[in-house]
Amino acid sequence: MKALATAYAAGLPGRDTHSLMHGLDGVQLTFMPMGDRDGAFDPEHNVILINSRVRPERQRFTLAHEISHALLLGDDDLLSDLHDAFEGDRLEQVIETLCNVGAAALLMPADLIAGMLARFGPTGRALGELARRADVSASTALYALAEHTDAPVLYAVCALTRAGTDDPDDETPAGKVLTVRVSGGAPGVKYSLRPGTPVPDDHPVAVALDTRLPIVQDSYVPFRSGRRMPAQVDAFPDRQRVLVSFRLPDRPTDRPAARGEA
């Protein structure tokens, strides 16, 4: 699926909405309210539908996802392999996963990711720049960057959340806590931070958010269990969130993470 999407992307004149549709002859793009659905591809009528009421970055990823559906349906060999290996709900789950893979390949080509890593290293800044240049969400950029990172790095997106809720857009100042929204590690990194994990007030990530200044400092990974794994922390504040990389020891000698943290 990644090769299919990469080959399609190579023939595009750009990565804007019009250019993304350039290779799908006869397929129309329509924006309309779709309730809880982000989008859909209707092969019978050759139309891609995108929810007009979701954020632009979400619309963009959804468009790439639905284009991937169209590419998948046009590849008889890949479709045949999938139907031989899976069926029912599992088949649908695998197809959705593959279309997410295709969307990432369309919006974040390997040369773009390599360029970010070459310029900024495996840092919070690289994560922020990738999200901005590809015009995707930070969580989408995180998974793509982690996949291409060779160093033992754990990435995270942290944001203020009102205590007792999961809404990062709540602007009520009272009762807000800084928590992990999403995290992911480079290949071979067995640790992760569970969503909702609080970040201590004196941690470099919290200080970066308070001061709005990037911080690079030897510190630790703040696991929910209270365990502190040594790491070099690179915290890059971006609006009301902090994009973080935790550079882990090359050869960690501590015991394995507790269940749910690996």
**Burial class (CB within 10 angstroms; exposed 0-12, middle 13-18, buried 19+) of 185:** buried
Q: Determine which one of 57, 66, 92, 171 is catalytic.
A: 66
Query: Rounded to the nearest 10 degrees, how much is the dihedral formed by the CA atoms of 144, 145, 146, 148?
Result: 90
| Known active-site residue 261 | no
- Residue count of the chain, please give it: 262
**What is the 3-state secondary structure of 214-229?**
CEEEEEEEECCCCCEE
Helices (H), the chain: 2-10, 17-20, 56-73, 76-85, 88-107, 110-120, 124-134, 138-147, 204-211
Question: What distances in angstroms separate CA 12 from CA 17, 21, 28, one per listed residue?
Answer: 11, 8, 17
Q: Could you tell me which residues are beta bridge partners of residue 87?
A: none
What amino acid is encoded at 220 in this protein?
Y
For the chain, give the longest Cα–Cα distance: 58
Q: Which residues are catalytic?
A: 66
